[in-house]
Amino acid sequence: MQNRDSIGHVTGKSVYVDDIPEQKGTLYGKVFGSPIAHGILKKIDVSDALKTPGVEAILTAADIPGENQIGGIIPDEVLFADEKVEFHGQPIAFVVAKDELTARKAAAKIIADIEPLEPITDPRIAKEKGLLLFPPNTFSSGDIDAAWKDCFHVFSGQAELNGQEHLYIETQGAYAYPTENDGIKIHSSTQGPTHVQHTTAHVLGIPMHRVEVDVTRLGGGFGGKEDQATAYACMAALAARKLKKPVKVILHRMDDMQMTGKRHPYSADYRIGLDKDYKIVAYEATLYQNGGAASDLSPAVLDRSLFHSTNTYFIPNTRITGYSCKTNLPPNTAFRGFGGPQGMFFIETAIARAAHELNIPAKTIQKKNLLQENDSFLYGQVAKQVNIQSCFDTLNKHDDLDSLQKEVDDFNKNHQLFKKGLAVMPICFGISFTKTTMNQARALVHVYHDGSIGVSTGAIEMGQGVNTKMIQVAAQTFSVSPDRVKVETTNTTRVSNTSPTAASSGADLNGKATQIACTAIRERLLELAASKLNSQKSELSILNEWVYQDNKQTTIHWNELVKEAYLERICLTENGHYATPVVHFNTKTKKGHPFAYHVYGASAWLVTLDCLRGTYTFDKVEVVHDFGNSMNFNIDRGQAEGALVQGLGWMTMEELSYDAEGVLKSNSLSTYKIPDIYSVPKELNIIPLAANGPEPAILRSKAVGEPPLMYGIGAYFALYNAIKAFNPKAPFETDAPMTPEKALMLLYKG
Ligand code: MTE
Ligand code: LUZ
Ligand code: MOS
């Protein structure tokens, strides 16, 4: 089935927050952010700004009727800075005016009297000063202290890993207006409508039922709108309630880049021990997560770094400790992979380091240590349906890795100024929210008495195609044409207490809930058919809109069946509730079964490096990915390709640059380079692994949103190998991304 949104997108008809027809009298908000990264906020002078014609109000912390608090996991984040400012761009005031330009002009006249304090941007310095956002966390397995003496080789090092800007095409925004009975309605570009509803109610000091949040779709989220859409929704709602008028806020791109959190940069110390046969015996790492000024989702992100710190390898003795360091940067947040990519980057770094010292290809170590069926992860879950070996086998069948390596070696022998590099990157990603409670969803399904169907779920469409998948689930469960099914907007009054659409589990959780609701209605319809046909329900089924009895078509069509059910006063609506079975996790012992299943895959990266310029081209990337039984291969392949290229951008060209004062220098698309069509590997083959999906995956079609991003890590190590081919003396230094500048320096270092 074609993606339901594709026509709307290419014709420009798809509706985003800023496209919603405006009500008369709509006002526009502009956020006034802190001009410096750290200081004591002594006074805010808005008098001049208020005199600007067309300005209706300037709201600050003093105008909040409820609590000035928006922290999602830990209550440590204010909506508006009150006594201190802790990052450059931190919201201090919200200017509301008749139009956007007026609001912007007025905001420029606000004077904030701030006594500057020293800003900290480096997580290791923050840690030294005892500035942690929350207590450290450690995962371990085996007996690491005893294990080192069993190691034949031990290597250790330090690695730096930068963050990543989400660069969703639609910037953060919200449109709020008062409704009758003291209500407020918010159109928000959020992945988490319930989070917006709950936090807005808290800030306004009203119960959740007064707040209705509605989402049509997002122009991309990538995790950046899991928590961080909330602040702007709160501001619009606060102003709308105060002024009793509709208020809209849409961030300017440069404000969005400056004010919002990103993928967390990490620094790490690692130590890896191997036996004579290159089996990894021990792995220890200390991670310094750059959390920014408030916790946001950092505790959960750090957890996922620990969960994924052994990637797709079995390592019997481990100890991984993570510190979340409080710095004067915007609070960093969810980003596709959610800490997993960072955890996986460091184990790959440790393996590459060992390979470098032992003068063998990293692949030799990687392949020796692949996870096997019934191995335990460091968090205690026993690995089942482990597909990593078959991913490698399929990859080798498609494009033999040893012959590829030989091609590379031959090329390098015959070329002076261009060198090729090959790297292999396997992945293993756990599917489920690591917080067990969040693994639940609901769907409200109506069958209208003309036979058409309306489906509401908690899932947010952000380009990943979840709405199309929901249509497929409903259509398949009823066995009717997908044209009969409409997916409604995601709305907190229709589907409540939702988890954000995140953790790649949007389709699984909401799809299962939809399936449960549709099944319940279908069973009632079949019961009715049985009474009409004087037969047993168990003999009946619906197939392509006709009722079948013992595999023979009857005279009852879907339309009649539904109409009859209505006349007989049978309920044609159902609310489906799904909670992922089996998952559990003990946060004290750090053991359990947190994931419904894991997604596997293997990739091979081939790059050509221009050794005079440091520039490079990815010639070819081969991927064997475990989609299970993909329910929509066009969508899933698009997800795999998009994620892979986003990972490639993170690893090679996207360079966040904060100066020592905590000011983002890479705050626009002229200074922050993201991949474009020319950065995409010249040849990119996504090959689906032939394997059945597990039961908790919707229609056995595995979650696909985040895992393929981590293939991108292969880009870094392919480049590193090309550098080594040119400059065998290049030191082993890890500082991602490998921009052309950094590649050039390494080509001539040592
Ligand atoms: N694809 C597009 N086009 N746009 C997005 O914002 N977000 C990613 C992924 N794919 C995203 C995307 C992230 S971070 C997640 S968690 C999943 O989609 C969420 O959707 P799902 O759970 O339905 O896969
Ligand atoms: N969000 C979250 C996530 O709250 N918990 C998770 O485990 C998670 N994983 C991936 C992406 N977002
Ligand atoms: Mo995705 S980082 O789970 O929104």
As a whole number of angstroms, the distance between CA 369 and CA 442 comes to: 40
Using CA atoms, how far residue 32 sits from 47, 110, 306, 371, in Å, is: 14, 8, 37, 51
**Pocket mutation for ligand 2, best pick of 195, 304, 440, 504 (most atoms within 8 Å of C-beta):** 304
CATH number for the domain formed by residue range(s) 22-117+172-250: 3.90.1170.50
Instruction: Give start-end residues of each CATH 3.90.1170.50 domain in the chain.
Output: 22-117+172-250
Residue 221 CA to ligand 3 center (angstroms) comes to 8
As a whole number of angstroms, the distance between CA 662 and CA 329 comes to: 6
As a whole number of angstroms, the distance between CA 152 and CA 268 comes to: 23
As a whole number of angstroms, the distance between CA 598 and CA 431 comes to: 6
As a whole number of angstroms, the distance between CA 724 and CA 420 comes to: 10
Q: Please state the rounded mean pLDDT for residues 222-229.
A: 98
Q: Which of 593, 555, 529, 625 is nearest to 312 (CA)?
A: 625
Q: Please state the rounded mean pLDDT for residues 347-368.
A: 98
Q: Could you count the other beta carbons within 10 Å of the beta carbon of residue 286?
A: 19
Instruction: Give start-end residues of each CATH 3.30.365.10 domain in the chain.
Output: 266-434+587-747, 440-579
Q: Parallel, antiparallel, or unpaired for β 597-610 and 616-625?
A: antiparallel
Q: Counting beta carbons within 10 angstroms of the beta carbon of residue 588, is it exposed (0 to 12), middle (13 to 18) or buried (19 or more)? A: exposed
Quick one: how far is CA 528 from the chain centroid? 44
**Ligand 2 atom nearest residue 304's Cα:** 7
Check if the beta carbon of residue 426 is closer than 8 Å to that of residue 351. no
Check if the beta carbon of residue 33 is closer than 8 Å to that of residue 88. yes
Please report how many Cα atoms fall inside a 13 Å half-sphere around the Cα of residue 134, on the Cβ side: 19
**Ligand 1 atom nearest residue 503's Cα:** 16
**Ligand 2 atom nearest residue 499's Cα:** 4
Residue having the nearest C-alpha atom to atom 2 of ligand 2: 433
Q: Write the pLDDT tens digit of every residue in 266-323.
A: 999 999 999 999 999 999 999 999 999 999 999 999 999 999 999 999 999 999 999 9
**What pLDDT score does 317 carry?**
98
**What pLDDT score does 61 carry?**
98
As a whole number of angstroms, the distance between CA 536 and CA 111 comes to: 77
CATH number for the domain formed by residue range(s) 266-434+587-747: 3.30.365.10
Whole-number percent of the chain with pLDDT over 70: 100
- Ranges assigned E (strand) in 46-85: 55-59, 84-85
Q: Band of the pLDDT at 513, cuts 50, 70, 90? A: very high
Measured between alpha carbons, how far apart are the two ends of the chain, in Å? 55
CA 540, 542, 547 angle in degrees (round to 5)? 70
Which residues are within 8 A (CB) of 472 and not within 5 positions of it... i.e. 6 or more apart? Answer: 1, 482, 631, 632, 699
Q: Write the pLDDT tens digit of every residue in 129-187.
A: 999 999 999 999 999 999 999 999 999 999 999 999 999 999 999 999 999 999 999 99
| Structure tokens given for 432 | 């489920």
Q: Band of the pLDDT at 69, cuts 50, 70, 90? A: very high
**What pLDDT score does 417 carry?**
97
**What pLDDT score does 510 carry?**
99
Q: Write the pLDDT tens digit of every residue in 683-710.
A: 999 999 999 999 999 999 999 999 999 9
Which residues are within 8 A (CB) of 557 and not within 5 positions of it... i.e. 6 or more apart? Answer: 545, 546, 547
SS3 label, residue 747: helix
**What pLDDT score does 171 carry?**
98
Q: Which of 659, 662, 570 is nearest to 87 (CA)?
A: 662
| Structure tokens given for 715 | 């880009």
Pocket of ligand 1 (CB under 6 A): 220-223, 336, 462-464, 466, 501-507, 639, 642, 703, 705-706
Assign residue 512 a region (left: φ > 0; alpha: ψ between -120 and 50; beta: otherwise): alpha
Which residues are within 8 A (CB) of 261 and not within 5 positions of it... i.e. 6 or more apart? Answer: 224, 228, 292, 296, 329, 330, 331, 332, 333
Write the single-letter amino acid at 552: K
Residue having the nearest C-alpha atom to atom 4 of ligand 3: 223
Residue 188 CA to ligand 3 center (angstroms) comes to 17
Residue 189 CA to ligand 3 center (angstroms) comes to 14
Write the single-letter amino acid at 597: Y
As a whole number of angstroms, the distance between CA 312 and CA 308 comes to: 8
Residue 297 CA to ligand 2 center (angstroms) comes to 8
**What pLDDT score does 721 carry?**
98
Q: Band of the pLDDT at 365, cuts 50, 70, 90? A: very high
CATH class of 440-579: alpha beta
Residue having the nearest C-alpha atom to atom 1 of ligand 1: 464
State the average pLDDT for the chain.
Answer: 98
| Structure tokens given for 413 | 């022998």
**Pocket mutation for ligand 3, best pick of 164, 226, 429, 710 (most atoms within 8 Å of C-beta):** 226
**What pLDDT score does 115 carry?**
98
**What pLDDT score does 636 carry?**
98
| Structure tokens given for 291 | 């959390």
Q: Which residues on adjacent β-strands are paired with residue 268? A: 159, 287
**What pLDDT score does 217 carry?**
98
Annotated catalytic residues are: 706
Ligand 2 proximity of 433 Cβ (cutoff 6 Å): yes
Q: Please state the rounded mean pLDDT for residues 122-134.
A: 98
Q: Please state the rounded mean pLDDT for residues 487-516.
A: 98
